[in-house]
Amino acid sequence: MTRIVLAYSGGLDTSMAIPWLAETYGAEIIAVIIDLGQGQDLEAVRDRALATGALRAHVLDVRDEFARDYIVRALKAGVLCHDGSPLAAALGRPLIAQTLVTIAHIEQATTVAHGDRDGSAAPIDKTVRALDPMLTVIAPAREWGMTEAQQLDYARQRHLALPAAVAGPDGSAASRAASGSPGEPASVDITIDRGVPIAINGVAMPLVDLVGSLDIIAGAHGVGRVEKVEPSALVALHAAHQELRRATITGDAERFSALVAGQYRQIVRDGTWFGPLRQALDAFIDTIQARVTGVVRLKLFKGDCTIVDCQVSTAPATKVVTLANATGH
């Protein structure tokens, strides 16, 4: 039988894709569930994939790699947020594509599939093809041409295990979250060393833990996306980094950095993350970010994230305590 490796999110499209791919291609389906830090119960998602007909379901924790190689790079490039919204979902696609290719090789599969309705025009599709041109890539949601009502009918007929319906993001939800946040603002100091956040309120911690801790604080005060598809922490990190960057990078370097940021966003959109251009841009970014060191104080209140103070340091930011020392261990 044909074996297809599917990037599985647990939503309607990818849940439907398991029986649809099996029926259409006479295939065994291997589901790949990737933990980027989205906060889902991924064991429940795995169980859903198996109940829906997957032969196997792999759950892979790539949070450290995602934080180190994607979030930090985008932060230093100045593109972690665009028009006020985090780009974590878009940044996750090249890592998802790379993971799909890796699992396809392990499973000896010649075909992979994903849930993006843009099909061959989707960044994840382009990235898979760039990494391994020998793989066939299928986008079921692009091919089956069903309306949402038809999809639900298809799912009911096959008794598919689907997640509980959730309301989409809207302005009123954001307003309610902001109005329900604490009555007093939170003050947060973010320490940045050569463009990389290393501590919150003087406590050093790994980036994954830093994002998680900041996400709890920022989310409690209504900052960022309410439905938690992307961490609220990214809004705060972007604001702090941009302020420190403006204080340390000026003149021609600042103007060229703006051009680099635009090119970086284009790379994310085009699915060319693993190409030589991004590597060349990273070399410039790493050089220019060497001076982006200091501490930025933010005020988080009722959905707003504002700069209170920005202290530039001319030396590496080493005056922070470790998380272990701070907790007495």
Counting as low any pLDDT under 70, the low residues of the chain are 1, 84, 163-181, 225-230, 315-329
Residue 3: helix, strand or coil by DSSP?
strand
Same domain, residue pair 14 and 153: yes
Do 19 and 141 have their domain in common? yes
- What pLDDT sits at residue 87? 86
Q: How far apart are the C-alpha atoms of 182 and 184, rounded to whole Å? A: 5
Structural domain range at position 193: 173-249+292-326
Number of domains in the chain: 2
Q: What is the mean pLDDT of the chain?
A: 87
Domain CATH code at residue 42: 3.40.50.620
157, 190, 219 - which closes a domain: 157
Residues 133 and 38 in one domain: yes
Same domain? 150 vs 9: yes
* 280 in a structural domain: no
Give the end of a domain, one of 123, 157, 191. 157
181-234 confidence digits (pLDDT tens): 678 899 999 999 999 999 999 999 999 999 999 999 998 998 875 444 567 899
* Residues 65 and 143 placed together within one structural domain of the fold: yes
Q: Is residue 286 part of a domain?
A: no
The predicted-structure confidence for 158-176, as pLDDT tens digits, reads as follows 888 776 643 333 444 444 4
Cα–Cα distance for residue pair 69/96, rounded to 1 Å: 13
Model confidence, pTM: 0.86
Closest CA to 57 of 95, 12, 14, 91: 14
The answer to whether residues 132 and 213 belong to one domain is no
* Same domain membership, residue 58 and residue 109: yes
Q: What is residue 316's predicted lDDT score, i.e. its pLDDT? A: 58
In the beta sheet, which residues pair with residue 138?
113
16 domain residue, yes or no: yes
Instruction: Please report whether residue 192 resides in a domain.
Output: yes
C-alpha 46: how far from chain center: 20
Is the residue at 206 inside a domain? yes
124 and 153 share a domain? yes
Choosing from 157, 189, 215, the residue where a domain stops is 157
Question: Of 167, 20, 28, 32, whose CA–CA distance to 92 is shortest?
Answer: 32
Residue 29: CA atoms inside 13 Å, Cβ hemisphere, count? 30
- Which residues make Cβ contacts (< 8 Å) with residue 149, sequence separation at least 6? none
Count of CB atoms within 10 A of residue 251's CB?
7
pLDDT at 147: 86
Asked if 45 and 21 touch (Cβ cutoff 8 Å), the reply is: no
Residue 282 domain flag: no
CATH classification at residue 227: 3.90.1260.10
Asked if 74 and 195 sit in the same domain, the reply is no
For the chain, give the percent of residues with pLDDT over 70.
87
Residue 72 lies in a domain: yes
